[in-house]
């Protein structure tokens, strides 16, 4: 009889279909170049605004354009890579799957080991599964030997970007680390967290970290504040792309991102201790920044140009004081540029969309699909397809979804009947205007302003226009004969 570990390996191998997993960013970039998905920019370019402007233009190309490697950022010897995950194909490559739908299969197979899901304790339910624990990271005794210590540490030695003209205007610090994997733990070393929070450079040895209330790092900071202790923080750039995605996903509760990354990649991550603080981080990174945060010590960070197409206002942020920096001698700085869609983060969010579907279908079996339109994705808003929609069903389902952390701040949830394929925004808008009785089919939460729209048409079903099978087949057979270019 196979062991639980063997079962987990089998699930991962089946979904991955023998696609490559990557230990570090260099391997991933080499793979992209070998498949024609990377463009090298050999001329000198400025990290202040120019790299972002180039990246923004490429992101707007069909299917997200190519990944970009800037070989000569002005004033720096390190290279910069952007738009690495800016297409469905590259997201699949990063996560080692043939299709994004494989992620739904992977997580569904894991959740099937839990007899009854409980959203309040879902993180503990998953973490206790042998099929999940098998992917816990392995830890070395010494820091990553591939990295060299920078003496003295100096954040300004790296080509971190300014993306938009007003970034950091409140304090005069315009450069940001935009793909940082920020590591923290509880004071007792128990729960650990890896999140992606924007980091603003404030000189050679200081940075502002904008973690939001309710995030894993913010919860840890509050525990350190109550304990009257300084909080160690590590920022890792690069490494296995699976961890970056895990850090970006809104995983339930305190589920360990490093173990989840191991689950996605089908093998545990290798980790090692930091040099100057008591934290464990993955090996294979490009740069590791170590330091401490005083929980009561804050600075003003922002404004920052974000995915809405507007600047988020300046706000208080944690102040990190750097104690050590180590890096690969040939480090490549990964960066992303956010702004009006389509942008790289829109494609990355599709990976979470496919994982979220597995969670939702266990909780609400009548959900057939979920889609995050690029224009809506970062407001927890979605188009949700239902099987066999019945009158009143949407009101019941939306009441369930609004209690979940993934939809507590959604602006709009649009429900449609499941069809033969995914429902995108144009078709959903068409159905909404033609199938919705706005006096009856809207559900509004008066406390939060959240809205749900029942565009399934189930209350007044009408036959939908469809070509006959015979005429569709006839036209397909004679298409070349018609001579239509």
Q: Is residue 185 classed as helix, strand or coil in its secondary structure?
A: strand
The pLDDT value given to residue 401: 96
Number of neighbours of residue 461 by Cβ within 10 angstroms = 11
Alpha-carbon distances, residue 302 vs 199, 305, 318, 422, 478 (angstroms): 10, 9, 12, 38, 60
Rounded-to-integer distance, Cα 28 and Cα 44, Å: 23
Rounded-to-integer distance, Cα 252 and Cα 460, Å: 38
Provide CB contacts within 8 A for 29, sequence distance 6+.
38, 67, 69, 81, 84, 332
The pLDDT value given to residue 12: 45
The pLDDT value given to residue 13: 42
Provide CB contacts within 8 A for 265, sequence distance 6+.
12, 21, 95, 96, 240, 242
All CATH 2.30.110.10 domain ranges in the chain, comma separated: 4-335
All CATH 3.40.1670.10 domain ranges in the chain, comma separated: 364-454
For the chain, 485 residues long, give each residue's pLDDT as a single digit of tens: 333 444 444 444 444 444 566 789 999 999 999 999 999 999 999 999 999 999 999 999 999 999 999 999 999 999 999 999 999 999 999 999 999 999 999 999 999 999 999 999 999 999 999 999 999 999 999 999 999 999 999 999 999 999 999 999 999 999 999 999 999 999 998 899 999 999 999 999 999 999 999 899 999 999 999 999 999 999 999 999 999 999 999 999 999 999 999 999 999 999 999 999 999 999 999 999 999 999 889 999 999 999 888 999 999 999 999 999 999 999 999 999 999 999 999 999 999 999 999 999 999 999 999 999 999 888 899 999 999 999 999 999 999 999 999 999 999 999 999 976 788 899 899 889 998 988 899 999 989 999 999 999 888 888 888 889 999 999 999 999 999 97
Q: Is residue 476 classed as helix, strand or coil in its secondary structure?
A: helix
For strands 192-195 and 181-185, give the pairing.
antiparallel
Mean residue pLDDT across the chain = 93
Rounded-to-integer distance, Cα 83 and Cα 339, Å: 13
458 within 8 A of 391, measured Cβ to Cβ: yes
Which stretches does DSSP call E strand in 276-314? 280-282, 285-301, 304-305, 311-312
Alpha-carbon distances, residue 371 vs 105, 182, 218, 362, 415 (angstroms): 16, 28, 29, 17, 11
Give the strand order in the sheet containing 138-139.
138-139, 270-273, 280-282
Residue-wise pLDDT tens digits, 186-221: 999 889 999 999 999 999 999 999 999 989 999 999
What is the Cα 481 distance to its own chain's centre?
48
CATH assignment of 4-335? Answer: 2.30.110.10
Architecture of domain 364-454: 3-Layer(aba) Sandwich (3.40)
pTM above 0.85, yes or no: yes
DSSP 209-267: EEPPTTSHHHHHHHHHHHHT--EEEEEEEES-HHHHHHHHS--STT--HHHHHHHHHTS
Residue-wise pLDDT tens digits, 111-122: 999 999 999 999
70 within 8 A of 158, measured Cβ to Cβ: no
The pLDDT value given to residue 466: 84
């Amino acid at each position: 009889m196979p062991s639980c570990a063997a079962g987990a390996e089998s699930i991962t191998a089946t979904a991955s279909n023998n696609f490559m997993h990557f230990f570090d960013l260099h391997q991933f970039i080499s793979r992209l170049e070998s498949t024609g998905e990377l463009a090298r920019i050999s001329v000198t370019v400025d990290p202040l605004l120019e790299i972002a402007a180039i990246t923004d233009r490429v992101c707007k190309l069909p299917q997200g354009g190519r990944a970009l490697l800037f070989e000569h950022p002005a004033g720096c010897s390190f290279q910069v890579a952007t738009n690495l995950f800016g297409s469905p194909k590259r997201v699949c490559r990063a996560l080692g799957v043939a299709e994004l739908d494989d992620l739904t299969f992977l997580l569904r197979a894991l959740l099937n080991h839990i007899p009854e899901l409980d959203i309040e304790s879902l993180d503990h339910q998953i973490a206790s599964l042998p099929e999940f624990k098998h992917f816990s990271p392995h830890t070395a005794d010494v820091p990553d030997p591939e990295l060299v210590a920078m003496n003295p540490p100096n954040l300004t030695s790296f080509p971190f970007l300014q993306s938009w003209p007003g970034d950091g205007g409140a304090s005069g610090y315009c450069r940001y680390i935009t793909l940082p994997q920020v590591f923290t733990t509880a004071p007792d070393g128990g729960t650990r967290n890896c999140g992606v929070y924007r980091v603003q450079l404030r000189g050679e040895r200081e940075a502002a970290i904008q973690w939001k209330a309710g995030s894993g790092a913010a919860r840890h900071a509050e525990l350190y504040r109550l304990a009257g202790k300084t909080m160690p923080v590590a920022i890792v750039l690069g490494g296995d792309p699976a961890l970056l995605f895990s850090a970006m996903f809104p995983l339930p509760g305190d589920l360990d991102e490093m173990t989840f990354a191991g689950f996605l990649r089908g093998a545990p991550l290798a980790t090692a201790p930091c040099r100057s603080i008591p934290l464990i981080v993955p090996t294979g990174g490009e740069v590791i920044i170590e330091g401490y945060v005083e929980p009561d010590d804050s600075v003003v960070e922002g404004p920052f140009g974000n995915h809405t197409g507007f600047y988020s206002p300046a706000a208080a942020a944690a102040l990190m004081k750097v104690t050590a920096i180590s890096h690969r001698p040939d480090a490549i700085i990964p960066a992303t540029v956010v702004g009006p869609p389509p942008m790289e983060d829109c494609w990355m969010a599709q990976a979470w969309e496919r994982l979220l579907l597995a969670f939702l279908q266990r909780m609400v079996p009548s959900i057939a699909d979920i889609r995050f339109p690029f224009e809506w994705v970062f407001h927890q808003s979605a188009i949700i397809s239902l099987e066999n929609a019945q009158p009143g069903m949407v009101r019941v389902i939306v009441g369930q979804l609004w209690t979940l952390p993934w939809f507590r701040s959604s602006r709009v949830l649009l429900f449609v009947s499941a069809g033969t394929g995914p429902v995108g925004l144009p078709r959903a808008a068409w159905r909404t205007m033609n199938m919705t009785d706005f006096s009856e089919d809207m559900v509004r939460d008066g406390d939060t302003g959240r809205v749900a729209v029942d565009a399934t048409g189930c209350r007044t079903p009408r036959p939908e226009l469809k070509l006959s099978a015979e005429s569709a087949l006839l036209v397909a057979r004679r298409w070349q004969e018609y001579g239509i270019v």
